[in-house]
Amino acid sequence: MGPVPYRWVIVAAGGLLGCVAIGAMFSLPVLSRAIAEDTGWSTTGISASMTFGFLAMALGSMAWGGLADRFGPRPVVLTGSVLLAAALYAASQATSLLAFQLMFGVVVGGAISAIFAPMMACVTGWFDTRRALAVSLVSAGMGMAPMTMAPFVAWLVTHQDWRACLAVLAAVVAGVMIPTALLVRRPPALDAAPGQRAPAEPNSEMTVAQAVRSPQFLVLVLTNFFCCATHSGPIVHTVNYAVSCGIPLMAAVSIYSLEGLAGLGGRLGFGVMADRFGARRVLALGLLAQAFGALAYTFVGTLYGFYGVAAVFGFIYAGVMPLYAVIIRETFPLRMMGTVIGATAMAGSLGMALGPVAGGLVFDRFATYSWLFLGAFGMGLGAFLIFMTFRPAAQNPPSANLAPA
């Protein structure tokens, strides 16, 4: 058996970086009770750090992606890794809620945005075939965070106080992510001489300004926003909805866990299907199925009913997300992948921030979550209809680098 091609090393690095980074941010729900009991800070104030983190991720994604396009992914990802470790340690030393929100929310969120878009852009440039599977594997690595990092932090907090937990987490981030970031390399096509590059580079003469004004860019940004707004509310509020239906809390939490586990299969399954049938076709069908998956929650009230819907819904919403990067790579030049993927990630983060707030407002107003899921269904149909207007721009003559494996 020969050596593993380096492009798969890039995939493994992307998955590991994403898992540790996302896991670090999502350690907050595990630690929030211990933080509140020790400091007297309000649970709402502590939880708001996550909201600030999502907003920082949104604002930082396009900026970090643009820097990766200019300087390459390694220095950007390395900077994000160092910044994340430093922010976690600083948060462990915070003596006020505002300082904690700044460090754990704003800085941690901004650091994580230096990982996602640059790595997704990097991976798309390393693959001509099996591109959708490669991107999906990176996304699957990120999806492993709740099943790896969260239990690790839960174990830590049973033996140490929350400050020590965050300090240890900072050390883990530094010890794992910094060496892994050093493995990241620019796609070979970007280092090749102009005459040696593949002739089928999509829209090779397009500028960044032209790209962000193109109808293809607008459609992808809007689709990603509505897509994330579709599943963010159900993801966050499913546990509370199940409890309101009379299901015990621990059983309700298992619904969320099953949804996450199904998402791992969805990322891989959708990646394989996209390589075989085309990313645009699979994404369109996935968006439509996601809308009906959200609607299905209004018809369940038993634990096994929730399990069935959660498994299907988790499989779908997690599966569609990596396909945006594949379609972007097929539409725009490789040299601006970080910028364009960062912009769609920004829209997605804003969509994710909408669902939790909207769900809380709906429940407070109507004392039921039914309108949340109906609203998510409407958002999902909107995402599908918007994406159906997507038309590829005129490109250079096609070649084998867009053919399925």
pLDDT of residue 405: 36
Task: Tell me the whole-structure pTM to 2 decimals.
Answer: 0.79
Distance CA 18, CA 251 (A): 28
pLDDT of residue 402: 38
Distance CA 235, CA 254 (A): 13
Q: Tokens standing for 164? A: 């020590």
pLDDT of residue 1: 43
Q: How far is CA 50 from CA 54, 102, 164, 317, in A?
A: 6, 11, 20, 21
pLDDT of residue 188: 85
Task: Give me the domains of the chain, ranges plus CATH numbers.
Answer: 6-188 (1.20.1250.20), 208-392 (1.20.1250.20)
Mean pLDDT per 10-residue section of the chain, whose length is 405 residues? 75 93 84 87 82 86 89 94 96 94 93 91 87 87 78 85 94 96 88 53 78 93 94 82 84 80 89 92 96 94 93 93 90 88 88 76 79 93 96 58 38
pLDDT of residue 395: 55
